[in-house]
Structure 1
Amino acid sequence: MARLNLERHYAFYASYHTHPLNLLVHLICVWPILLTAILPLRYAPPLPRLRFYCPLCRQYLPIQLGFPVAVSLAILYALMDPRAGTGAGVLVVAGWAAGTLLADDAGLWSFADAWKPVLVAQIVLWSAQFLAHAFFEKRRPALVDGPIEAVVTAPLFVFIEVLHRLFGYEPTPGFFKRVQARVSALRNGPPPTAPEKKEEEEKERMSKAAEESVADKDS
């Protein structure tokens, strides 16, 4: 079911990023948006008596609110796609650790020091994405219709897209072929009604069960 959810949510997100230049802008901007958004959370009071050992920097880091947020995202990504999602989750946690260290090295010792560069980064990155939608995609951003896909799971989708383009990765065989069919339907047809959506989910469930049955017989 998790992978079926991945396919459906991925197709929804992809349907808003069909133009190559718009897609490129998002490939560049999505991860910096996530990591700079997590950075201010490091200035929250640390959780008592909890520290995280960072093997790369060989020191213990105090655990602020950013750590459970990063871990929660890592778990979500791994549930959606055990292979690529695990890799994306590791990057999120590593990004949290790197942001904590870099902020200290840059002298950003307090929220008062950090909020200005973070705000500038967020404005520039989000503006680039909105402009890409306006000039290239000529369609409103996915943020309007699907804030979860546009904000929470977008880093995973971008990570999978990069793996696919560089190494031909697919979460499941035929994943991108099915996604493309969904994207075409979303772009060219009206949104499904509630009964149609329920019927589609039931078909997906039956198809998945049939695939698992065939796999069990082959094994």
Structure 2
Amino acid sequence: MAKPSGGGGLLDLEGHFAFYGAYHSNPVNIGIHELFVWPIFLTAQLLLHIAAPSVHAAGIVAAVYGAYYFLLDRRAGALAALLCFLCWAASGALAARLGFSLGWKKRAPALLDNLVQAFLMAPFFVLLEILHTFGGYEPYPGFHDKVSKLIEEARKEWEDKKSKKLS
């Protein structure tokens, strides 16, 4: 099968969809994209707010994306433009709340440090966090407090290593 080029022009919606569809036909892949593409856009907006606030890069990007989507299709494009605006507004509020120092300090994903830990424990960790947050569940009394202290120690150790590298 020849892959679509998507080259019918900048506003060729059919060509773009054919190109995208040729690369994203697996139902799992489609589901992942449906869940995570907009949060990734929001995160990119947050990084733009933090990295280049004076040039209003996040607003420019959101406006360009929204306008482009609107030009591709007025009805769906209007919704997409609204989502771009909401991502811009939410990321701006979050950037203002976090500030540069908190917003820009990111660790490498656990995936890079320990594949088994990242793939095996991440789902269970998320489940335990949800159970604790919404139901106060703990595997045993004091579990959350103990783990919170261990997490804080690990973060401090990481921060110390990072500051030694920078100095």
TM-score range, shorter chain: 0.5 to 0.7
- Alpha carbons of structure 1 residues 113 and 65: separation in structure 2 relative to 1, 3 Å: same
Count of aligned positions: 103
Name which of 82, 93, 110 aligns with 2:74: 82
Say if 2:60 is the partner of 1:37: no
Asked whether the 8 Å contact 1:3–1:81 carries over to 2, the reply is: no
One-letter identity of the residue aligned with 2:87 = G
Q: Which residue of 1 aligns with 2:32?
A: 25
TM-score (norm 1): 0.42
Asked whether the 8 Å contact 2:49–2:95 carries over to 1, the reply is: no
TM-score (norm 2): 0.53
Name which of 77, 84, 90 aligns with 1:92: 84
Q: Report 1 or 2 for greater relative contact order, CA contacts < 8 Å, sequence distance ≥ 6.
A: 1
- Alpha carbons of structure 1 residues 42 and 3: separation in structure 2 relative to 1, 3 Å: closer
Unaligned runs of 5+ in 2: 1-7, 113-167
- Alpha carbons of structure 1 residues 88 and 2: separation in structure 2 relative to 1, 3 Å: farther
Partner Cα distance (2:14, 2:36) in 1: 22
Q: Which residue of 2 aligns with 1:9?
A: 16
- Alpha carbons of structure 1 residues 31 and 117: separation in structure 2 relative to 1, 3 Å: farther
Asked whether the 8 Å contact 2:41–2:87 carries over to 1, the reply is: no
Name which of 24, 46, 62 aligns with 2:54: 46
Larger helix proportion of the pair: 2
Say if 2:96 is the partner of 1:104: yes
Unaligned runs of 5+ in 1: 48-63, 125-219
Name which of 114, 118, 122 aligns with 2:103: 114
Partner Cα distance (2:10, 2:57) in 1: 29
Q: Extract structure 1 runs of 4+ deviating beyond 3 A.
A: 1-4, 116-120
- Alpha carbons of structure 1 residues 66 and 103: separation in structure 2 relative to 1, 3 Å: same
Please give the root-mean-square deviation of Cα atoms over the aligned residues, in Å. Answer: 2.8
Q: 1:126-146 deviations in whole A, cap 9, x for unaligned?
A: xxxxxxxxxxxxxxxxxxxxx
Asked whether the 8 Å contact 2:11–2:71 carries over to 1, the reply is: no
- Percent of pairs with identical residues: 40
Q: Which residue of 2 aligns with 1:73?
A: 65
